[in-house]
Chain A
Amino acid sequence: DAKTTQPPSMDCAEGRAANLPCNHSTISGNEYVYWYRQIHSQGPQYIIHGLKNNETNEMASLIITEDRKSSTLILPHATLRDTAVYYCIVISNFGNEKLTFGTGTRLTIIP
Chain B
Amino acid sequence: NAGVTQTPKFQVLKTGQSMTLQCAQDMNHNSMYWYRQDPGMGLRLIYYSASEGTTDKGEVPNGYNVSRLNKREFSLRLESAAPSQTSVYFCASKSWAGLAGGNEQFFGPGTRLTVL
Contact = CB atoms under 8 A, between A and B. Distances in A.
Contacts, number: 63
Given A42-B109, A43-B109, A49 B90 contact: no
Interface in A77-106: 87, 89, 91, 93-104
Nearest to B31: A96
Q: Describe A's contact surface by its main secondary structure.
A: loop
Interface residues of A, number: 24
B interface, over-half SS: loop
A94 B90 CA distance: 23
Contacts of B92: 43-44
Contacts of A42: 109-110
Contacts of B61: none
Interface stretch (B12-20, B40-48, B69-77): B40-48
B19 to A, nearest CB: 20
A28 interface: no
A95 B42 contact: no
Contacts of B33: 98-99
